[in-house]
Amino acid sequence: MHLSASICPDVILLNLGLPDMDGMEVIQKLREWTATPILVISARSNEHEKAHALDLGADDYITKPFGTVELLARIRTSLRHSSQMQDMSSIHPRPYHHNNLTINFEDHVVTLKGNIIHLTQIEYKLLILLARNSGKVLTYTSIMEKIWGPYTDNNNQILRVNMANVRHKIENNPAAPKSVSDTGW
């Protein structure tokens, strides 16, 4: 559960038969703070169980056994519906937390151990890009296009300078970053 808060997955595949917590409870807790699509994977085929999971906020329910082709199709459908909802949604994104770093997207405030970190507009855009893509590998080119636009120069020195500035502002030891690295978090 805590992992989903810091990784920000595109979709959650949830098995209801968890060893330490009931899957239905996980759905409820996730829906308190995220709209990420939840695809339930379960051996439970009771119609009432399925309806209950969907009523709690699951986006889809697939009963074991199932094939890879069907699973992938359901994931694609969940992602498609999710992106359509994000385009139409007025829901504000939840704050991002990683170690002692918090990014409040709604207020555009970054804090470290409760202290506000002052970032330039470019540094803030860079940090939120990395946060929103946590766990994913981003190329220099893709980062530069997203921050400076599609017609940016291929020279990544400006990116390196801004990353160094972000590191100096949020890391105890910028030479050995624990929050931000060249490839993300």
The pLDDT of residue 180 is 56
| Portion of the chain with pLDDT greater than 90, in percent | 38
pLDDT, tens digit, 9 for 90 and up, residues 19-63: 888 899 999 988 877 778 999 999 988 999 999 999 999 999 999
| Portion of the chain with pLDDT greater than 70, in percent | 82
Contact 3, 97 (CB under 8 A): no
The pLDDT of residue 89 is 41
Q: Provide the mean pLDDT of the chain.
A: 82
Structure tokens that stand for 176 in this block: 């050995």
Judged by average pLDDT, the poorest of 83-87, 154-158, 159-163 is 83-87
Contact 152, 145 (CB under 8 A): yes
The pLDDT of residue 2 is 53
The pLDDT of residue 17 is 85
Q: Are β-strands 109-112 and 101-104 bridged in parallel, bridged antiparallel, or unpaired?
A: antiparallel
Burial degree of 180 (CB within 10 A; 0-12, 13-18, 19+): buried
pTM score, two decimals?
0.49
User: How far, in Å, are 36, 45, 156 from residue 33 at the CA level?
Assistant: 9, 28, 36
pLDDT, tens digit, 9 for 90 and up, residues 51-89: 999 999 999 999 999 999 999 999 988 887 776 555 444
Question: Residue 5 — very low, low, confident or very high, per pLDDT cuts 50/70/90?
Answer: low
Judged by average pLDDT, the poorest of 18-27, 91-100, 151-160 is 91-100
User: How far, in Å, are 11, 31, 124, 130 from residue 80 at the CA level?
Assistant: 11, 19, 28, 22
The pLDDT of residue 172 is 76
Structure tokens that stand for 178 in this block: 């624990």
Q: Within 10 Å of residue 184's Cβ, how many Cβ atoms?
A: 15
The pLDDT of residue 20 is 86
Task: Establish whether the linkage from the previous residue to 65 is cis, with ω within 30° of 0.
Answer: yes
Domains of the chain by start residue, with CATH: 2-88 (3.40.50.2300), 96-170 (1.10.10.10)
